[in-house]
Amino acid sequence: MLLLLFAVCIIIFIAVVLAFLYSTSEMPDIPDWEELGLDNDELKNNT
């Protein structure tokens, strides 16, 4: 019973890690982050 619970925890952990790696790997492909950074700099210059 404990072995089954341990296996389920490992599967959930692996799924979370894969989801995290997948989400972070998509981040650099979005050019909007650079645009948001430029917009933030412009807002700082205007104040």
Q: How far apart are CA 36 and CA 47, in angstroms?
A: 17
Q: How confident is the model at residue 27 (pLDDT cuts 50, 70, 90)?
A: low
Report the pLDDT value the prediction gives residue 19, as an integer from 0 to 100.
85
**Residue-wise pLDDT tens digits, 30-45:** 555 555 565 555 555 6
Report the pLDDT value the prediction gives residue 15, as an integer from 0 to 100.
93
**Residue-wise pLDDT tens digits, 5-14:** 999 999 999 9
Name the one residue in this structure whose structure tokens are 């089954």: 4
Q: Is the pLDDT of residue 46 over 90?
A: no
Q: How confident is the model at residue 18 (pLDDT cuts 50, 70, 90)?
A: confident
Residue 14 identity: I
Query: What are the helix (H) ranges across 1-47?
Result: 2-26, 32-46
